[in-house]
Amino acid sequence: MIQQRASLFRHVFRNVYTHVLKTKRPNFNQINGLGNIGSQRIILPDGVEPIFSELSNGIRVITSESKRRIATLGVVIKMGSRFESNNSLGSSRVLFNMILSPSQGFHSCFVDKLALNGLMLAGGWSREYTTFVLEYLKSQGADGSDDFFDGIFKFYKKKFNEEEMETAKRKTQEELMFESSDSNTKLNELLHSVAWRGDSLGASQVLSIDSILKLNSSKLTGFRNAHFIPHNTIIVGIGIDHQQLVKQIMKSSKKFELPEKNTNIMGYNSYKTRSPRYVGGLVKDKIHGYGFTDSIVALETDLNWKGRELVSLSVLQAYLGGGSSFSVGGPGKGMYSKLFLDVLNQFDWVESCNCFIHQYSDKGLFGIHVTSYPGYSLEAIKVIGKQLGEMKYINARELERAKNLVLSTIYSTYENKSHYMEEVSKQILSHSEYIELDELINCVKSINIEDIKNVADHILHNGNKPTIIVVGADVDQIPDFNGASSIIYQQIRKEYP
C-alpha cells in the first residue's frame, strides 16, 4: 500500500534575526567496514538514545529504540520538484514510480515481495524530499528488508531503458491528471507557481503534465546523478538494532557497487540549492457550474530555520485557525479561533475560512483561504486583508489557547516515533543539525504577545506584494493585480497603521 505521508509540524522548525533555538549537530561515527561499527550516542529528552553513523559512501544511518511491537525502516532522500529544471521537470516523481514498478524481465517488483511477506510499504514525495517507509512486526523479523534496500539502492547507478521510462511516465501522468482534478491540490499548485513564478519552489508537476512526456533517459540520468545520491540519503531505523541495520545497508551497498564518498565514478554532479525568488501576482480562473469561489491571499515568510520567530508564526497560525460551516467530524472544532469567530460567525456567505502555512527549508508562504458563495469574491479578499491587518492584536487568553494547540500537535506527532525521526532526518539533510524536542517545546511555551507582534510585522512588511488566487463562479469582480493588491493593502493598513 502506497500512501503519501503528511508532515504535521515541519512548519514549526524555523526563525528570523534575533533569538535562535539551540540546535544539535549529530556526531556521525565514520564506518569504513563491518569491523568498525561503533557509534556515538546522543540522549534525547525522553531518555531514548538515537545512534548516528555515516558509511564511507556518504549514506547516514540513524536508529532509535522503541518499545512498540512494530519496527520501522525509513529512507529519506533530499530530492523533489524544487530541484527540477524545465528540462528535468517530473524527474523525482518518475524516479519514485520506477522504484515501485516491476523491472524489465521480472513479473513483480520488491513492493509485491514485501506485501507477500506481510510487510507494509509507504512512500511519499514533496517539493524537497522523497521518502520510503517499511513497517513490520518485530516478531516476524526483517526478512524483507534486504529486498527493500536492494529495490532502492539499484537506482543509484541504474541505466534507464526507454521502455521502463515510458511506463513510469505514463503512470506519473495518470497520477498527476487525477491529482489535478482535486480542487485543493490545483489551488495549492497555482499558489506556489504564482508566488515563485514557476522557479524552484514554484515548479509544478501538476500544472505541467505534458512536459513530463518530454523527459528522456539522458535528462533523468542527469537529475539522478545530482540528487539521488548516497550523500543525500539518510536511513532511519526505529526499534531496530543499529549494528545489524548498518550491516544490511553495507551489504546492499556492496552488491550495487556504490562508490566511496567524494569520488566521481558515477559522474555525480555538485548541486547547490537555489533560493527561490518571490514574485507574487494574481491568477483568476472562472469555472462555470462550480457553486463556490475560492479566494486565497498569501505573503512570503522569509525566515531562518532555527529560531523563535517561526515558532511564533506557528502559534499565530493556530490563533487565526479557521473552519467550515460544517467541519468534517461534526461542528465545534476551531470554534474559538479568530477566523471562526470573526469570519464564519459574521458572514453567512462564507462556506469556509482557514489560515495556512507552507514552510520549506528556506522560504515559505503564510495566508488565508476563503471559500464563498457566488457574488462575494471581492468582499472575500477585503475580509482577508482585514484579518491579516488585525492578526497582531492577540490577548493573553487567545495566546495560551493557540500555544496549547501547537503543543498538542507536537505531542501527538511525537507519539509516532517514525514521524519525529523523519523530521530530524530532513533537518540534518538540509542544515546538518536538528532541533531537539525539549528545545522546541520550551520555545513554544515561552512565546509571548510581543513575539506575535514581531512576526506579524515581518509578514506584513511586504503586504503590498501578495500572491492572489481567485478560482470559481465569480472572478469578474476582482480587478487586475495592482487594483486587487491595493484593496488588500488598504484593508491591512486600516487595521494595522
CA nearest neighbour of 308 among 23, 13, 20 = 20
Question: What does the pLDDT read at residue 70?
Answer: 87
Please tell me whether residues 301 and 225 are part of one structural domain: no
199 in a structural domain: yes
Higher pLDDT, 434 or 259: 434
10 has a pLDDT exceeding 70? no
Please tell me whether residues 229 and 365 are part of one structural domain: no
CA nearest neighbour of 362 among 420, 310, 425 = 310
* Domain of residue 320, residue span: 281-495
What are the grid coordinates assigned to 295, written together? 479566494
Contact 57/260 with Cβ under 8 angstroms? yes
User: For residues 330-360, b (16+ Cβ closer than 10 Å) or e, as one string?
Assistant: eeeebeebbbbebbbeebeebbbbbbbbbbb
What are the grid coordinates assigned to 388, written together? 491579516
Phi-psi region of 262 (alpha: psi -120 to 50; beta: other; left: phi over 0): left
42 has a pLDDT exceeding 70? no
Domain boundary among 255, 271, 299: 255
pLDDT digits 0-9 by tens, 53-67: 999 889 999 998 888
151 in a structural domain: yes
Query: How far is Cα 94 from Cα 208, in angstroms, rounded to an integer?
Result: 14
Please tell me whether residues 194 and 305 are part of one structural domain: no
262 in a structural domain: no
Q: Read off the CATH number of the domain in which 173 is found.
A: 3.30.830.10
Please tell me whether residues 205 and 320 are part of one structural domain: no
Query: How far is Cα 468 from Cα 223, in angstroms, rounded to an integer?
Result: 32
Please tell me whether residues 295 and 184 are part of one structural domain: no
End-to-end C-alpha distance for the chain, whole angstroms: 53
18 has a pLDDT exceeding 70? no
Question: What does the pLDDT read at residue 76?
Answer: 96
Q: Once rounded to an integer, what is the mean pLDDT over residues 228-232? A: 93
User: For residues 6-28, b (16+ Cβ closer than 10 Å) or e, as one string?
Assistant: ebbbbbbbbbbeeebbebeebeb
Label each residue of 331-360 as H, E or C.
Answer: CCCCCCCHHHHHHHCCCCCEEEEEEEEEEC
Helices 162-180 & 183-195, crossing angle to 10 degrees?
Answer: 100
H/E stretch holding 491 reads helix 481-495
311 has a pLDDT exceeding 60? yes
Domain boundary among 255, 289, 305: 255
Choose the weakest-confidence range: 83-97, 125-139, 271-285, 470-484. Answer: 271-285
459 in a structural domain: yes
Please tell me whether residues 306 and 208 are part of one structural domain: no
Choose the weakest-confidence range: 100-109, 320-329, 359-368. Answer: 100-109
- Total tally of structural domains belonging to the chain: 2
**For the chain, percent of residues with pLDDT exceeding 70:** 83
Please tell me whether residues 36 and 153 are part of one structural domain: yes
Confidence class of residue 416 from pLDDT cuts 50, 70 and 90? confident
265 has a pLDDT exceeding 90? no
327 has a pLDDT exceeding 80? no
476 has a pLDDT exceeding 50? yes
Q: Once rounded to an integer, what is the mean pLDDT over residues 352-367? A: 94
Query: How far is Cα 454 from Cα 25, in angstroms, rounded to an integer?
Result: 28
260 in a structural domain: no
> DSSP per residue over 93-133, as a string?
HHHHHHHTSPPTT-SS-HHHHHHHTT-EEEEEE-SS-EEEE
Enumerate residues 6+ apart whose C-beta is below 8 A from 97: 168, 171, 172, 175
Domain boundary among 238, 255, 272: 255
Contact 230/57 with Cβ under 8 angstroms? yes
1 has a pLDDT exceeding 80? no
Q: List residues bridging with 237 in a β-sheet.
A: 63, 73
Choose the weakest-confidence range: 235-244, 255-264, 329-338. Answer: 329-338
46 has a pLDDT exceeding 70? no
Question: What does the pLDDT read at residue 328?
Answer: 44
Please tell me whether residues 296 and 251 are part of one structural domain: no
Choose the weakest-confidence range: 190-199, 240-249, 320-329, 376-385. Answer: 320-329
Residue 83 per-residue DSSP state: G
Enumerate residues 6+ apart whose C-beta is below 8 A from 334: 321, 322, 323, 327, 340
Q: Once rounded to an integer, what is the mean pLDDT over residues 132-150? A: 83
322 has a pLDDT exceeding 80? yes
Question: What does the pLDDT read at residue 182?
Answer: 87
Query: How far is Cα 361 from Cα 434, in angstroms, rounded to an integer?
Result: 12
Question: What does the pLDDT read at residue 106?
Answer: 43
Question: What does the pLDDT read at residue 2?
Answer: 36
Largest CA distance in the chain: 72
Please tell me whether residues 322 and 219 are part of one structural domain: no
Please tell me whether residues 85 and 35 are part of one structural domain: yes
Residue 307 per-residue DSSP state: B
Question: What does the pLDDT read at residue 15?
Answer: 33
Residue with cell 564506518: 31
43 has a pLDDT exceeding 50? no
Question: What does the pLDDT read at residue 121?
Answer: 81
Please tell me whether residues 203 and 344 are part of one structural domain: no
Mean pLDDT of the chain: 83
272 in a structural domain: no
19 has a pLDDT exceeding 90? no
72 in a structural domain: yes
Inter-CA distances, 493 with 321, 468, 486, Å: 22, 18, 10
296 in a structural domain: yes
Neighbours of 182 (CB within 10 A): 11
Please tell me whether residues 481 and 332 are part of one structural domain: yes
**For the chain, percent of residues with pLDDT exceeding 90:** 47
Query: How far is Cα 370 from Cα 353, in angstroms, rounded to an integer?
Result: 4
Question: What does the pLDDT read at residue 213?
Answer: 84
